[in-house]
Chains A and B, each alone.
Chain A
Amino acid sequence: MIEPSVAQAALSVLDIVVLEENADGFAAIGQIPDWFPRLFPDGDVRNAPYLAEFLTTVPGPGEQRYSGVWTERDGNGPDCGLEAWASQIDGHTVLLIHRLGEEFEVRRAALQQARETSLSYERLGKVTRDLADAKLQVEMRNREVERINQLKNEFLASMSHELRTPLNAIIGFSSLLAEESAGPLNAEQQTYVAHVARASRHLLDLINDILDLSKIEAGRLELARELFPLDDALNEVLYTVRPLARDKGVRLITGRSAGSQIFADRIRFKQILYNLLSNAIKFTPTTGEVRLDATATPELWTIAVTDTGIGIPREELDAIFQKFHQVGSGTKGIREGAGLGLAITKRLVEQHGGEIRAYSEPGLGSRFVVTLPQTVSRLEPAADLHADPMPAAPAVARPDVRVAVVEDNGANRALFEAMLKSVYPISVYENGAEALEAFRRQPPDVVLLDIALPGMDGIEVLRRMRAELPLRNIPVIAVSAHAMTGDRERFLAAGFDQYLAKPVADRAVLLAAIEPLCRRARAPLAS
């Protein structure tokens, strides 16, 4: 039997108050702890909403009911955790209330910790999902960009093809007219033809510039670097631009040249020089000067083009290398070109690992300085593969070599016929099926074959020729307005013996392509 005083002490230590229900409500058995009046100020636990709800259900005899944990405000202090049990003893409801002291805070802290951890996991999961979403978005965007680029490239290829096809006839026929191969021209007619030739070549330059820029921007322009004599490249470009300077009355001066080898893509290097020099001539008035200097140090090649032209306003100096930029008021109305030349030049220089700077004083002139790193300076000179080919055109007629032209465009058919008829017997065909039928009857010695033929394209015509014994060994030249990067390789890989991009501007180029193949075609007969 526990002494009441011992029981009271135990209740006090455990922070428990015991109340017994009577007619007036609930009264404490034994001592009332100090916290009780703070939590239940009016002394009646039935006025506390939580306990009032708990006590609406009276426990049965011998039954014990648990309230669960709830909180009450401890005066002005923090919330206090409580739990209660109700039971029935000798027909009386007895209520035992336990104040959760530190235990409540420990329980709350543990729960808080668990939930914060759970929230952290949720946030981590969300971040992971967001990252995955972002990655997916980026991938989708990349695919879209890729698709748009593909469409752009297809559009450019198509436009290039469609523009080159008529240009082939324009440039070719104006070249034939200028040669007076169809009869002499008077002075006025020669001037007109020269205008047609110049305008069409300008148009061709524009097409090439747009394609170049598109290739550079797509990262698809590959440089074929080699070691070659710098002076040779300078002379080749000077040879091309000298007539421009002469026509305009601009003095073209060559300063000190490095006289060394340069390691670069020869064609692109010449393009850089050509762009700078032709620009300088364009913006320099008559009696002005354009000067080209080239110097080399062990680290750098420096090419400078200086003119006494109209100059560039200071505020536009940075913008001149942007594509489609044309210097505004400073050009005094000179707006020829699409504003692509300098943009391409800058990108070509940068792709060589170099840089280009522009200096200018309006009214006094401009200076463009290109520096290229000497990445390879001790190599032996490479074979000069790019020396301007001066094709060895046949001087006399070759009635023994039958050349067939397969071309669906009437103007181009007529052009090739006109270019070749004085040298070779020519037969022309509008489509592949017609050509194959004729070849079977009488095989030609060389075939000029267009690619974009209606019905059966040039590649299919070639495939069928290679599959038929009498036609198998006939040399075939692809003559196509498909002139994008990779087209040459594609056609040569398909089995063509040679490839010529339209426009074929010069009869000599056409003859030079045919002649070696003629020799090959005749060789077996000779042996």
Chain B
Amino acid sequence: MPPLQKKICMAGSFAVGKTSLVRRFVESIFDERYQTTVGVKIDKKVVQADGQELTLLLWDLAGEDDLAQVRPAHLRGAAGFILVVDGCRSHTLETALSLERRITHETGPVPFVLALNKADLASGWEISEAAIDPLLRRGWTCVRTSARDGRGVEDLFLSLARKMLEAKE
């Protein structure tokens, strides 16, 4: 029986570290240079979650801004999504909140996780606990991640994998 395959969309404002998180997760690599994503880039990774083998199809969507918007067609078939926020740029949380509404509108209620990325840059951190608390109270899963040093990255993807498996059940 082929492993179960799940499509995950990575969404968020531009330069929040979506591609870097995927590269850290899939290839264990981090590149300091910022390379903008055009359109969509897809990677695959097989994971074990709750004793089950699962192939994650990671759809890395181009960052959201005035120049590029998430295409609804790219969201089709997504079993879950990851909203990525740059903890050092508070407005990226607002973008993530807006994206969550739009994505859920397209996909229906699918599991998602919020990644508070660039946790290694604590000195420039702008997003306060007070801003996150209301999301936690709403039942959101929020994970502090750093694509640079790898913290929280496995946890981020595996959390979502487990949620997707739970949702399937």
Contact = CB atoms under 8 A, between A and B. Distances in A.
A69 B15 contact: no
A79 interface: yes
Contact of A111 (B38, B59, B77): B38
B76 A71 contact: no
Nearest to A107: B38
Interface of A: 49-50, 53-54, 56, 67-71, 79, 81, 83, 104, 107-108, 111-112, 114-116, 118-119, 122
A116 B63 CA distance: 13
Contact of A81 (B35, B38, B59, B77): B38
B15 A68 contact: no
A115 B40 contact: no
B39 to A, nearest CB: 3
A79 B71 contact: no
Given A49-B59, A68-B39, A81-B38, 6 more contacts: A50-B40, A68-B73, A71-B39, A71-B41, A81-B39, A115-B65
Contact of B67 (A54, A114, A116): A114
A53 B73 CA distance: 9
Interface string B28-50: 00000011111111101000000
- For the side of the interface on B, what is the size category? 20 to 34
A114 B15 CA distance: 12
B15 A119 contact: yes
A79 B41 CA distance: 9
Contacts of A111: 36, 38, 67-68
Contacts of A49: 7, 42, 44, 57, 59
14 contacts: A53-B7, A67-B73, A68-B39, A68-B71, A69-B38, A71-B41, A79-B41, A81-B38, A107-B38, A108-B38, A112-B36, A115-B14, A115-B36, A115-B67
Q: For the complex, would chain A's binding face be called helix, strand, loop or mixed by DSSP majority?
A: helix
A304 to B, nearest CB: 55
Contacts of A107: 38
B92 to A, nearest CB: 10
Cβ-closest 5 pairs across A and B: A69-B39, A70-B40, A112-B36, A71-B41, A70-B39
Interface in B1-39: 7, 14-15, 34-39
A70 B57 contact: no
A400 to B, nearest CB: 81
A55 to B, nearest CB: 12
Contacts of B59: 49
A116 B34 contact: yes
A53 B36 contact: no
Contact of B74 (A68, A83, A114): A68
B32 to A, nearest CB: 14
Contact of A53 (B15, B35, B44, B76): B76
Nearest to B35: A112
B89 interface: yes
B35 to A, nearest CB: 7
Contacts of A54: 73
Contacts of A71: 37-41
A107 B36 CA distance: 11
Contacts of B77: 53, 56
B139 to A, nearest CB: 29
Q: Identify the interface centre among B44, B63, B73: most chain A CB within 10 Å of its CB.
A: B73
Q: Identify the interface centre among B15, B36, B63: most chain A CB within 10 Å of its CB.
A: B36
A310 to B, nearest CB: 54
A50 B42 contact: yes
Nearest to B63: A115
Given A68-B73, A115-B65, A104 B14 contact: no
Contacts of B38: 69, 71, 81, 104, 107-108, 111
Contacts of A79: 41
Contacts of B35: 112
Contacts of A83: 39
Contact of A122 (B39, B71, B89): B89
A49 B74 CA distance: 11
A454 to B, nearest CB: 53
Q: Identify the interface centre among B41, B44, B89: most chain A CB within 10 Å of its CB.
A: B41
Q: Identify the interface centre among A79, A115, A118: most chain B CB within 10 Å of its CB.
A: A115
